[in-house]
Structure 1
Amino acid sequence: MISRLYSRFCQTLPTPTSSSALLVAYSGGLDSTLLLLLAERYAREHRLPLGALHVHHGLSPHADEWAERCAALCRQLGVALQVERVQLARGNGESLEAQARSARYARLGAALPPGGWLLTAHHQDDQLETLLLALKRGAGPRGLAGILPSQPFADGLLLRPLLAEPRQVLAEAVGEAGVSWVEDESNQDVSYDRNFLRQQVIPVLKARWPAIAETAARSMALCAEQETLLAELAEGDWQRAGDGEALRIAPLHELSPARRNNLLRHWIRRQGGEMPARDQLARLWDELALARPDANPQLNWGRVSCRRHQGRLYLVRPDLAPLSDQIPLTLGVRATLPEELGTLGVIQSEEGPLRLPRADEPLSLRFAVAPGQTLRPQGRGGSRRLKKLWQEYGIPSWQRGRVPILFYGEQPAAVPGLFICEGFARTGPQGLSWLRQGPPVNPQEGDDPLP
């Protein structure tokens, strides 16, 4: 059994290269124990570096014992084992399952060398569980495609060479190898959805339809193919409708509703946003894209807010608020702006567009002007309230109150990237230039180039 399994294991792996170091995600359970045995033989035959990583979650009173048993087998096989301890927070709104998974993959990603292969022990029964969980969530083709056998991960690849194997086959192979493994008592806790399916639902399904895991895997493979086609279609539509990080609304009117929704999901995924439910996607179109031109609509879901500005859709944080910081500036020193807005500094140069400040004009950065104060951009006839200027220069509503303004003393002198105020333009051979790194002031135009 184990020889046949090893042969299939080898066939699933790509051709190794000089950078193909192997890292096994080793929990100590039956599945990962077999994976470690197969990987050790493969690495030895192909003369590849091999390591194992065990994540110690500290959730079980037996966690220390598990780590020691993992270490014992790794010593027997001559495999270097790395034990990573993580702490999970109970009661923070996120399930312990999700926290454990995030922590585990974060440590695995950090340990994987560039070009390396991370091997995990997912198998065919895991696929069936994943499919049932996806159906429970009401997932589309992407979710129903299940666990992928191979995908980019960190600076290398994540490979699942046992994905087509039933767990019963793995159990027989481990028994043949004569090695022991650890049993996690939490696997019997049916309050966890995956355990409920594993313990109470899937045995009933298999009793009625013994091949259900295999046939479900075929359906998932078909969903994966469909998702690939949808992604290719969406990428073509994105090339026509995308504008930096924004999505232009006009081209969306030319698409069918299904194709439009496909592009919207693709855009949200590209921006790293949390995927909205289907009814939220419909609201996004009806309440934002189709809102009257002078409206300022907003739709929030999860940790994402969708906003509209000048015929484009944007994804931003839902908690953006005006800033009240006052940041002193020193010539030649970049100041760090709050909330990841980048850095901004000023230097003296012959090309600088701003006049040099007087001794009684200390430089600072602020995000608002005094109530009722007006500004007059250079070359403009008459002064304007800041709110009016933001409108004229196309600053989105969610960015107003977050745009850095350069002050000379108590007077606003310039909005770097937009305009210089009357009376602050360079008058001599030397002036000040600003150096800005970070998000552009106007998302459609970008900042002035750095001098």
Structure 2
Amino acid sequence: MSLLLHLQQQLSTLSRYHSSPSKIVVAYSAGIDSHVLLHALWQLRERHEFQLSAIYIHHGLSVSASIWQQHCADVCADLDVDFQTAKVTVDLSTGKGLEAQARQVRYAKLVELAPHGSVIMLAQHQDDQLETVLLQLKRGAGPKGLSGMAEYFSRTKTASSQQQVHFFRPLLDITQAQIHAYAQEHQLRWHEDDSNQNTDFERNFIRHNISPMLMQRWPHFAKSVSRSARLCAQQQLLLDETTREKLDNLRTQKDILSINGLLALSEPWRIQVVRLWLDERNIISPSQAILTQLSSQLLTAADDANPIIRWQNWQFRRFENGLYVIPLTKEIIPYIGSLTLSSPIELPNKFGILSLCTNEVSHKQSNVLPVENIEQYPISVEFGGFSRRFTPQDAHHSKPLKQWFKHWRIPPWERSSVVIICQQSNVVGLLIKGVFYPSKSTRVGHTQKCAKSVTPYFIKYQSNLE
């Protein structure tokens, strides 16, 4: 079957996942694979009635990147195809491999730039799938890893949005030889990435040293591996259906799982449920060894224990009967700072800013903390020291802060970020997740009641998101 006919069938297949897309975007790299995909879709766009565009992501990792970018722009201009480009930065300090990090930032930018309702086409082919499965086999992957690259998948547009961006790989059954034949037939020009020859990269080592030997011995090896990957993917879908039912039964609140419910599962099911839970939140799952530690070190720990399991930028924590997964954050060291009219305080870990204002400035603010007599009793902003006593406005007596935190069911890892606002040794209010909690002694309506000679003041909180 010709590449063009295959692609035409794939466009019909796409309707199984997505209503016929009116916009198709090609992730264009200037290489032969994405150029062939772009050109073939360009031939089919009128017949299938879709708008075609292309996006080039400039990683800045090669001195030739700008040349490739211009080549893509020229090709798209010749084809009268809309073209976008964007630069990204690959942060190598994360400890991830160069390939993995570049892929992550590339997909993130594609998701950001994709028009609403579009499908992004990726040009990976059958030989790429063979390399992917061999890499996963080398890493000891299970069925999900051995499924290789998915034909279709989606990513959430933003953390606060439910809008999905869809990706489709229509060439997974097409060989590299077929792609080259199409390029030669249509006299296409492309650029080769010099790094593709560097066998220090695992994928390139397989491409140049392993795959040719396997294909020479078994000419249909890539096709067989592709079929196995598809079967693994089907089995994984069935497994995910059952796992999702178990996962839904374990949710106690948003993003919290029941520890007792997890312990009632067998170890393999427990690990499977946690993996799916993390995958739903776009969190890279830890190793099998770490997931095994989850049962022995965290789920079965004493109720008053505070175990922590960390990997990459994430951590598992427990509180009461709940399992949490939260980002790693810089530890907040207890300190005391003075808040004055001329000196706002920037809170640690980019939590926001506290400022002291007069009534004229802040009376329209919906979430402010009124204070008095700041000339005589300066305002201090503190972290830590949970043994001091506090009386909330709706309480009849005071308790140490640590008892209120327990009463309010604030997890231990959130307590260090509670802002304690004091005058002298008295706690006049707390700031918890951007919300003020005044003390009983704080007069919320004091601006109308105080004498004209007393200047009313407010503490205002501003989030970094504002």
2:198 corresponds in structure 1 to 189
Structure 2 residue corresponding to 1:403, chosen from 393, 418, 429: 418
TM-aligned CA distance change 1:318 to 1:79, over 3 Å: closer
Aligned: 1:269 with 2:279? yes
Aligned: 1:374 with 2:389? yes
1:35: how far off? 0.5
Aligned: 1:394 with 2:403? no
1:203 corresponds in structure 2 to 212
1:270: how far off? 3.3
TM-aligned CA distance change 1:357 to 1:78, over 3 Å: same
Q: Structure 2 matches for 1:12-51, cutoff 5 A? A: 12-14=13-15, 20-51=22-53
Rounded to whole Å, the distance in 1 between the matches of 2:20 and 2:220 is: 40
1:180 corresponds in structure 2 to 189
8 A contact 2:148–2:229 mirrored in 1: yes
Aligned: 1:106 with 2:108? yes
Q: Secondary structure at the match of 2:22?
A: coil
Rounded to whole Å, the distance in 1 between the matches of 2:274 and 2:114 is: 33
Per-residue CA distance 1:395-437 (angstroms, 9 max, x = gap): 3221222113344576312336796544336688969999999
8 A contact 1:335–1:343 mirrored in 2: yes
Amino acid of the structure 2 residue aligned with 1:128: L
Q: Which stretch of the first structure deviates more once superposed, 71-80 or 114-123?
A: 71-80
- Unaligned ranges ≥5, structure 1: 439-451
Rounded to whole Å, the distance in 2 between the matches of 1:370 and 1:234 is: 43
2:322 corresponds in structure 1 to 312
Amino acid of the structure 1 residue aligned with 2:442: F
1:442 corresponds in structure 2 to none
Structure 2 residue corresponding to 1:412, chosen from 412, 424, 427: 427
Q: Secondary structure at the match of 2:150?
A: coil
8 A contact 2:25–2:55 mirrored in 1: yes
Amino acid of the structure 2 residue aligned with 1:216: V
1:329: how far off? 9.1
Rounded to whole Å, the distance in 2 between the matches of 1:315 and 1:361 is: 45
8 A contact 1:367–1:402 mirrored in 2: no
Amino acid of the structure 1 residue aligned with 2:147: A
Structure 2 residue corresponding to 1:279, chosen from 289, 308, 329: 289
8 A contact 1:355–1:430 mirrored in 2: no
Structure 1 residue corresponding to 2:55, chosen from 53, 56, 68: 53
- Unaligned ranges ≥5, structure 2: 158-163, 450-456
1:128 corresponds in structure 2 to 130
Structure 2 residue corresponding to 1:168, chosen from 177, 182, 185: 177
TM-score by length of 2: 0.79
8 A contact 2:92–2:101 mirrored in 1: no
TM-aligned CA distance change 1:29 to 1:407, over 3 Å: same
TM-aligned CA distance change 1:354 to 1:163, over 3 Å: closer
Rounded to whole Å, the distance in 2 between the matches of 1:363 and 1:269 is: 49
Rounded to whole Å, the distance in 1 between the matches of 2:461 and 2:69 is: 49
Amino acid of the structure 1 residue aligned with 2:242: L
1:447 corresponds in structure 2 to none
8 A contact 2:382–2:420 mirrored in 1: yes
Q: Secondary structure at the match of 2:263?
A: helix
1:32: how far off? 1.2
Identity of aligned residues (%): 31
Amino acid of the structure 1 residue aligned with 2:59: H
Structure 2 residue corresponding to 1:230, chosen from 209, 227, 239: 239
8 A contact 1:122–1:160 mirrored in 2: yes
Aligned: 1:424 with 2:442? yes
1:143: how far off? 1.8
Q: Secondary structure at the match of 2:120?
A: strand
TM-aligned CA distance change 1:5 to 1:326, over 3 Å: same
Amino acid of the structure 1 residue aligned with 2:400: R
Number of aligned residues: 434
Rounded to whole Å, the distance in 1 between the matches of 2:446 and 2:74 is: 76
1:44: how far off? 3.0
1:448 corresponds in structure 2 to none
Rounded to whole Å, the distance in 1 between the matches of 2:281 and 2:19 is: 33
Q: Secondary structure at the match of 2:154?
A: strand
8 A contact 1:23–1:116 mirrored in 2: yes
1:140 corresponds in structure 2 to 142
2:256 corresponds in structure 1 to 246
